[in-house]
Each structure stands twice: as C-alpha cells, then as structure tokens.
A and B are shown apart, each in its own frame.
Chain A
C-alpha cells in the first residue's frame, strides 16, 4: 500500500495506519528508553529528591510556523518554562496531538522534529503520547497538549508569600516579541526581519539563577499571554502588595514598538514565550542581573521595577513625563490565538 501524504481519519483509528504514524513520525523523533516499549504508560526511574511539580498546557497557535518558532517548539518551551519558574528541574513530558484530517504529514514531521530538538535543548524526555484525528474543519491543522513533570529541589521555596517590600523586579529581555511576530505573520505585514518570536526554554537560565542566589530569589513567573501587565497584576493581587514599574527601563525592541504603534496595541500586553519576571531581594539584585545577562537568554535583562507597600493589589507605571498611571490587567481585547 502506498504511504499517504496527508493525515487520514484512519491515522487516528488505532489500526495499521496509526501504528505506522507512531513508528515513522513520533518514535523516530522522540526515541528514548521509556517511550520505546510503546506501553500504555511510561515508567520512570526513581526521581531525584524534592517536591514533584506537574503541569499541562495546550497549544493552538495559528499559523503553525511563525518567524522565530513553530507550534512544536512552543509546546515544549511553554511547559518546560511553567515547571522552571516554579524552581523545578523539568524532567519528563507527555505529548498529545489532535490532528485535522488532511494535514500534510510532512508538516507534522517538521513540527515533531522541532519538538524533539527543543526537548533535547531543554534536557527533557518525551515519554508518552497520544494521537487523535478529527474531521476536516474541526481543528486548525493541529493542536498539541503537553504535560510536564519536574522536581523542585529541597530548600527551594518561591511564591507570593515570599515577596518583600523593596524586592526588585527583573526581566530577562525584551517584551512583546512573540505576540507581535505572530500578529505580523497573520496580517501579512513586515516590520523588518528582526521581528521574531522569543520562544525559548528557560530552565537552564533559571537553574543558574537559583543555584547562585539560593534564598534570595522570591518569586518567578513566565510572561506569556496577557503580557507583562497581566502577570504583574496577578502578582500584585495575590501578594496584596503594590508593584512600581519604570516605563523607560522596560526593554522593548524597536520593531515591536513600531508594530504595536501600527496596530494600536500596547507592548505591555503583548505575548511572550521566552520571558520571565523575577522578584529578587534588593541586596541580591545586581548579582541576579549579572547571572541573567551572562546567559544568551538573558543578555538584555533589566531591572524594571520594585515591590512596594503603597497601592496594594495594583501595578503603577512611572511614565517618562512624570505621570504615574495604573496598569490594568488585559480586559476583553480580541486578539488572535497566539499560543
């Protein structure tokens, strides 16, 4: 029988075509000892000591390929980063695929290869997975779900309860790159070749930070949908403390600013996929900044604000004009699917 070029409903039936797909596409890319037996569940060796961290996320980005990344890279990085900001060492991932009938198998292969490469870069293994096929029109090419398991080493404790007044807030680089790269691709606009998604696994960077300054790092969050403004509002609310931001210190790429201007958007609300905000004790802030800036994923890191006792639950932005304005959480904007 000739091998089909496109995904058929039969690829999800559990029969011969399903097996072929798993063998030729998934197993080839993701090969590892846990996956190889193709059992109903992956068995993992003894985990390192610490608290178990478990997370899951679904990825529905359109287009599947965008400048600086694709849905596959995103599906690994997003889940790895969710574990890493908790202070966990990411170890194992699962991968679930919902494929639309008619999807080119070559497209799937490119995505799966990208996932394998990114997983290797992040030092995680994909140990189990699932594939379903839905009728043409019932999914936008493909949707991916990944779940991740990691271990938080003993002694690491991050969270809103650790925030202290005068803690400084650091970010590892420019904001809005992912959101604007995807938007521009969707709208068919070009604002210069440098407009690329920042999709990247942050576990190595954050592990270095935690190893260098144990106890001084109080909280971390990856900055994804809703952008910097939304994440910091969540912080302010859950810690019931105020956050002060200095507009001029927030790094924004020139191309991103231009694209935002053009579309009437605010970079503070634009999505990221390789950015993290870190709350660090004031006396350790310089050292933390150095650790971030030494790593390629933090070369443009900056101190952008601080925790304060004024305006609890709110984020206040100091503008270059001397005005202070409250920055809200994203409300009701109709943005396309970006992650």
Chain B
C-alpha cells in the first residue's frame, strides 16, 4: 500500500527503537521518560503495533483526553436525549455516540423505545435526511475536535445556501489546546513531553502547540499514525528531554503545516464562536468549546429547542475522569475488566473506539504474555 507501507518498515522501526533505548541509557536521569499521547487514535496505534512493550521501562506512555466521545459531558448527552425524544425530531449522529451512557441512559436505549435516532457516517448524510424529511426537524449531534468541526461548518453553510430550514446542529465541538493546558495546570501528573494530535494539528497547525515549550517548558512532537511516525515523534521527544531543549517538532510534515489548513480555520471562524465547554472528567474549561455563531443562530439546536436537564452524578466507582486527565491508567480503575467492558461499558472511555479503556481492554494491556 503506497503511502502506508513506507511508514511501517519493520527494519527502520527496530532501528528507531534501538536509538530511543540507547538515548535513554545514555541519560539515566531521565528514565523513564513520561510522554502523553493526546490523541485516542495514537493510543490505539501504539497498542496495535505493540510499541508500548517495545519501549517498556524507558518510555512511559500516558493516554490523554483525545477522544471526543469520551469527553462529552453527561449533561450534554442528556440534552441530546431530551432533544431526540421531542416528537418529529430526527437526531443524527456518529455510531459511537449512541452507546455512550449519559446520566439518563443512552441514545440506543431511547432509539429502541421509539425515538428516531439515526447513525450517520458524515454530517452530509444528516443534511440529506433533512432534505428527505421536510416535515421533520433534523438535529445533527456534532461531536469532535478541530478535525471534525470544519466539516460540520461546511454543512451548516450548505444548509443555508440550499435554504433547508429543518436542519440544525447541537454543537458539542471542543478545542484541544485548552484541555492540554488544563492537564498541565492541574499538575496531577508530571509529563516530560507531549505527542501532539496529528489530524487536529493538520487543521490548527503545529505552531498552535508553541505554548507547551514556552509556558510549560516541555517539548511537543506532532505525529502521524503509523509506527514510524510515532517512533520518530518519540525519538524526537526523548532527544529533546535528554538535551533539555524543549520545542515544537513536526514529525508529520506530510500532513501538517506550521499554520495548519487556512481554509478549514476560516470555515471554523465563520460558523462557530469560542466559548466555555463542559468536559467529562475535567468540568468546565473556559474558551474550549465551539458553538454556532450569531449569524447561524437559527441552525443552533441549543437555541432552537428549549432543553432542561437534571444534573446526574457520574456512575459510582467510574474513574474515566482520571483516565482522561492521564492521572491513572485504565487498569488502575477498580471497575476495569471486572464490571466495565466493551460489552457492558460503564464509563465513556470503554465505549468509544478511541477511548483509552477500550484500547487497554482490546489489547489486553496488563495481562502478561509469555
């Protein structure tokens, strides 16, 4: 497979692993180097290619909050549940969202009870549903980071252009740098470096992470999703830590530019405005959410419908919050693998394909292999 196999070359991967181990051996004071991969896609790739165990002892990888489904606040999910139960409303969303427990159940439960919830692969599909059902209100439940938000912005504009009046968006989109700051400000976990999210950075640009070396004195390497991408990023971070030269390193230049994708950024600015957002596991983070701007107020489901939700506490014993903040690893949660599994998920990190708990479960992390 062109453009993929080049980044999976086993011989090169072994060389990089040896190089990383050698570097750490030469600087025993930094061992183990503790890195956080912000992105859930990275977490899965690291497990899939077995990189964790190849670096065990020298590099300690912590999973971050980069799973949009996982950080969606229970109250926001509950609002979506209420919306979906309004007669005549069709709620369209991505597959993972229907299984995530809010405080009052899941979308798949109310779907089974008769609510019209539809799984779509793209916001474009939601707009098509609105066209097909002019007599119904179609609400797209928009969840995601800077990566998915531009696509939603484009659809909102398209709906305006085509004068499709019955289409709106419940925007739960979030921005990644504020969450990174929140983790570092809380100081609950000491991190030596950050693997920056590859696809998010393709939109916002690698320069968006300059605050990591500037304010927090730690390096950030923006990475792709293949083994050589990740190993290059880890090697670059280990180097920066050993040489005490923090900076932003772009190890994914085939997708990421320093300034990101200008068209996508403009699209975000036109359609959304930045405001506070509630993050599961964090609570409210200022200037971390994207809601529809005033020009598109009519497309904003939060304004279009009145939704009131009773706050409900998180499920007892669930430690997804600490997992999302990198404070504990999933096997440290008493529910993990005992009460909480992909078949019976209690917290959001076990539900989403990008969740850290789902990754630890799937790849049997913590179970010794002889």
Contact = CB atoms under 8 A, between A and B. Distances in A.
Given A323-B53, A326-B363, A316 B1 contact: no
A331 B344 CA distance: 11
Interface string B323-357: 00000000000000000011100000000010000
Interface in B10-36: 10, 13-14, 17
Given A261-B4, A321-B10, A328-B364, A311 B51 contact: no
Contacts of A249: none
A193 interface: no
A325 B50 contact: yes
Nearest to A257: B1
Contacts of A320: 8, 10, 13
A238 interface: no
B342 A331 contact: yes
B44 to A, nearest CB: 9
B312 interface: no
Nearest to A323: B50
A326 B50 contact: no
B367 A264 contact: no
A8 B190 CA distance: 70
A331 B343 contact: yes
A332 B96 CA distance: 11
Interface in A308-339: 310-311, 314, 316, 319-326, 328, 331-332, 334
A-B pairs, 6 with minimum CB distance:
A323-B50, A320-B10, A326-B364, A310-B370, A332-B342, A331-B342
B369 A324 contact: yes
A254 interface: yes
9 contacts: A266-B48, A320-B8, A321-B10, A321-B14, A322-B50, A325-B53, A326-B367, A328-B363, A332-B342
A321 B4 contact: no
A321 B50 contact: yes
Contacts of A310: 370
A258 interface: yes
B370 A311 contact: yes
A311 B1 contact: no
Contacts of A321: 10, 13-14, 17, 49-51, 54, 227
Contacts of A258: 1
A331 B362 contact: yes
A326 B50 CA distance: 10
Contact of A323 (B1, B8, B49, B367): B49
Interface string A273-316: 00000000000000000000000000000000000001100101
A334 B343 contact: no
A328 B370 contact: no
Interface string B76-119: 00000000000000000001000000000000000000000000
A311 B367 CA distance: 10
Nearest to A316: B369
A332 B49 CA distance: 21
